[in-house]
Amino acid sequence: HNLEMKHLPGADPELVLLSHRYEELERIPLSDMTREEINQLVQELGFYRKETPDAPVPEEFQFAPAKPLPTLLPPQVPTADGKTPPKRDKEEHLDL
């Protein structure tokens, strides 16, 4: 789930991890890894493997393996009525 394979002729194989905004987070070269090592890596990174291609994905894995974002929230500024807006959980996705 949330893993897409793209074959690029002539390119060295690598795993490109993207944020929920499709920004590149990390590139992991796969050339020197066996199939078993790649499967283990993907599992360690938190990807969910469905039992069958059409099997449902449990709710807790819908956005997996999304890593928590660094604190990207703007500083808390009082609103027009002088109250500070409630703090958000730093792992909350603002655009979801």
Please write the tens of the pLDDT for every residue from 44-84. Answer: 988 888 889 899 999 888 888 865 545 444 555 555 666 65
Q: Reduced to 3 states, what is the DSSP secondary structure of residue 18?
A: strand
In a domain, 6, yes or no: yes
Distance CA(76)–CA(56), nearest Å, equals 39
In a domain, 78, yes or no: no
As for how many domains the chain has, the answer is 1
Checking if the pLDDT of 37 tops 90, the result is yes
Give residue 30's domain range.
1-69
At residue 96 the predicted structure's pLDDT band, cuts being 50, 70 and 90, is very low
Is residue 2 within 8 Å of residue 47, measured between CB atoms? yes
CATH number at residue 16: 3.40.30.50
Between the alpha carbon of residue 19 and those of residues 6, 24, 25, 69, 85, the distances in Å are 17, 6, 6, 8, 26
In a domain, 9, yes or no: yes
